[in-house]
Amino acid sequence: METGTVILIVVGVYLLISLITGIIPGLRISKSVDGYVAGDRSMNVMLLYFVMGASIFSAFAFLGGPGWAYSRGAAAFYIIGFGVTGIIPLYFFGPRAWRLGKKYGYVTQAELLSDRFDSRLMSVMLAVLSVVVFIPYLTIQMKGAGFVLSVISEGRIPEWAGAGFTYLIVLVYVYFSGVMGVGWSNAFQGLFMMVLAWVLGLYLPFALYGGVGPMFEALVDAGQAAMLAAPGLAGDGSPWNWAAFSSAVVVSAIGFSVWPHFFMRSFAAKSERSLRLSIVLYPTFQIFLIPILIIGFSAILIFPGVTPADSILPHVLMQLELPAIVIGLFCAGTLAASMSSGDAILHSAASVGVRDGISKATATPVSDSTERMLIRILVIVIGLISYYFAVASEVSLVALLLASYGGVAQIFPVVFAMFYWKRATKAGALSGLFGGMLVNVFFLLNPALKPWDMHEGVYGLAVNVLLLIAVSLLTKPDDPKRVQKFMEKPVV
Amino acid sequence: MSHKPASRKPGYFLFFGTWYPNNRLVFGLLGLFIQLGVIWPLYAVFSGAEPFILGLPLSFAWLTLMLLLAFAGMLYLYITDNTRLDREHNERVRAQYQAESKGQNGEPN
């Protein structure tokens, strides 16, 4: 059979399985918003584990991870570094959020926060922030999917068609099944990605150098030792500095656990224990970044000068004359990475946009079925906006995504205060969040004005925490009865 | 918090007026170590390309170790939390049972 045909068959089978695993679970959940957004709070450990793992590992990890290792060496360790501690806060926040959700019916992060601080403005602010950071994230996933299909088919499938077709499938199962569709397709896609990452990450060094050890030795012998020493190289090839590396790791670690789509998975858990267990098992998913980075390192000496660096993985695969089935599997694996993040983001962006944005801003009560319909409409609208950016714009979206971590991290102090600091007040939380976001955006747009070469999120966080504490202490305490509800400890 | 008992609570420690289970202290120290291990200054000590450990450069091997340590730490937290919560649950049930069998009608504690 012709190579192209085999690849297309493998990809086609994969997409079909994704579609089926995405739609079937939706037939069983209830026709309510709870069912659509939080899966009737019925996810077991395995499902939740894959949803959490897969929704963070995206086309960016699959293409950008090797790309960074290839072009900037040890700087890529940052991608592993922030997740190591970044997941820990969720072990403490998650069960508290879950209990409140079960008792009072919350399904999003903004609902919790706006209730604790008695502020509709906060809800709308968080909804806007979420949708703003979600759209570039989704756009990257679409671009990744289109890009891979186009490279592998040697241009026969144009990028717009690849991205469009892939995301049409995602749209269908997110539209019909909500979070349970995301869950089951992610379980399938996650397993697929893990296997593929390990196979490729071990196969490439063995095929090219005779092993992982010999590969790194060859790099040192070739005078690339500086590249392997942390914190690696900056974008221009000069050594990166520790302040920039450390602050990027810290800001991303802080932002990691409060990503709205990640945080709100807590509400979908079946029980507190299954939630805690899936969080504890999370690092086993992270280990799969190790072979991913090894793929990038393996290409440094053999294929120098590939641009853009993000295309290194498909580039290597096309050069190696691998069997068509392997290329097909890789192609499907990258689509899996892209789709598993894309579906979760699409679903969360729409849920948050409607529940926390539109319905809070207009303050008119809507019925469950209207709300469910609105969410579905927004799924399509956000999908189309992102698709427009994916095919029509040339904006550097990876830069936007990395920057969006600075914005997301600003949510952390208020979430922490909600659960642990009685004295935090509405005025304090609002001014902290607003001030933090403002400073973050200011230094993002004016990097030359930064006092030290650190991630702009650090400055935002400093102002955020300062304002939160100072303004809270200067204002009257919030209603203790309402505050107490958010401070209760786990009992089971 | 004045309503909290001033006397020692076995298996807990006092921090800013709130009692926390002891495993939080162990985990907190480990977490601090790991956090410093992935940024400056601690990571800077183990940031070189050489020596190689199991075929990986020192910087990569160290990061892998931090990842495994974080996993071990969270497993420890999960297991000790469950043991404590189960024990406290059993104690509550037993206390309630004893209170009922004695014929007391006060609120079980």
Least confident range of A17-21, A361-365, B3-7: B3-7
Interface membership of B71 toward A (CB under 8 Å):
yes
Is A74 in contact with B82 (Cβ distance < 8 A)? Answer: no
Residues B30-74 pLDDT 10s: 999 999 999 988 988 888 887 888 888 999 999 999 999 999 999
Element (H, E) at A270: none
User: Are the CB atoms for A110 and A258 separated by under 8 Å?
Assistant: no
As a whole number of angstroms, the distance between CA A244 and CA A475 comes to 36
By the CB < 8 Å criterion, does A212 face chain B?
A: yes
Confidence of residue A303 (pLDDT cuts 50, 70, 90): confident
Q: Are A324 and A3 in contact (CB under 8 A)?
A: yes
Query: Is this complex scored with an ipTM above 0.90?
Result: no
Identify the pLDDT of residue B2. Answer: 44
- Does the CB of A230 have a partner CB in chain B at under 8 Å? yes
pLDDT of residue B30: 93
The type of residue at A111 is E
Confidence band, pLDDT 50/70/90 cuts, at residue A154: confident
A77, B35: Cβ pair inside 8 Å? no
pLDDT in tens, A241-287: 888 889 889 998 999 889 888 888 888 888 888 899 999 998 888 88
- pLDDT tens digits along A314-349: 778 777 777 787 778 778 777 877 887 887 788 888
pLDDT band of B1, cuts 50, 70, 90: very low
Other Cβ atoms closer than 10 A to B71: 19
Note whether B70 contacts A84, CB cutoff 8 Å: yes
Mean pLDDT, range A100-123, rounded to an integer: 89
Share of chain A above pLDDT 90, in %: 17
Q: Which of A324-338, A407-421, B12-26 is predicted most confidently?
A: A407-421
- Dump pLDDT digits (tens) for A367-397: 778 888 888 888 889 899 889 888 876 655 5
Residue A435's pLDDT band, with cuts at 50, 70 and 90, is: very high
Q: What angle do CA A7, A12, A18 make, to 5 degrees?
A: 130
Chain A CB contacts of B44 below 8 Å = 230, 242
Q: How far apart are CA A251 and CA A263, in angstroms?
A: 17
Task: Answer whether A491 sits within 8 Å of B89, measured CB to CB.
Answer: yes
How distant is the Cα of B85 from the closest Cα of chain A, in angstroms?
A: 6
Q: Spell out which residues of chain B touch residue A91, defining contact as CB-CB under 8 Å.
A: 74, 77
Whole-number average pLDDT of chain B: 84
Q: If pLDDT is split at 50, 70 and 90, which confidence band does A398 have?
A: low
Interval B85-106 mean pLDDT: 82
Q: What is the pLDDT of residue A417?
A: 93
Q: How high is the pLDDT of residue A30?
A: 62
**Average per-residue pLDDT for chain A:** 83
B36 contact A CB<8A: no
Q: Which residue bears the tokens 């927004």?
A: A378
B85 touches chain A (CB under 8 A): yes
**Does residue A149 surpass a pLDDT of 90?**
no
Nearest-angstrom CA–CA distance, A132 and B74: 33
Q: From CA A274, how far away is CA A472, in angstroms rounded? A: 35
Q: Which of residues 237-266 of A touch B (CB under 8 A)?
A: 242-243, 245-246, 249-250, 253
- For the record, the structure tokens of A118 come out as 């008695």
* Cβ neighbours of residue A200 closer than 8 Å, sequence gap 6 or more: A291, A295, A330
The percentage of residues in chain B with a pLDDT greater than 70, rounded to a whole number, is 87
Q: Which of B34, B40, B44 comes nearest A84 by C-beta?
A: B34
Best-predicted range by mean pLDDT (A47-56, A167-176, A247-256, A337-346): A247-256
Q: Which chain A residue has the Cα nearest residue B88?
A: A491
Q: What is the mean pLDDT of residues A99-110?
A: 88
**Segment A440-489, tens digit of pLDDT:** 988 888 888 888 888 888 999 999 999 999 999 999 988 888 888 888 77
Q: Count of alpha carbons within 13 Å of A395, Cβ hemisphere only?
A: 15
Q: Which residue of B has its CA nearest to A248?
A: B39
Looking at mean pLDDT, say which of A299-303, A307-311, A329-333, B3-7 comes out highest.
A299-303
Residue A222 has pLDDT above 60, yes or no: yes
Domains annotated for chain A, with CATH where assigned, are 3-408 (1.20.1730.10)
Q: A31: how many CB neighbours lie within 10 A of its CB?
A: 10
- Residues A148-154: what's their mean pLDDT? 77
pLDDT at position A92: 92
Residue of B32, B50, B60, B86 to mutate, testing the A interface (most A Cβ within 10 Å of its Cβ): B60
Mean pLDDT over A22-46 rounds to: 69
Per-residue pLDDT at B107: 53
Q: How far is B11 from chain A (nearest CA, A)?
A: 16
Q: Cβ contact (<8 Å) for A491 and B74?
A: no
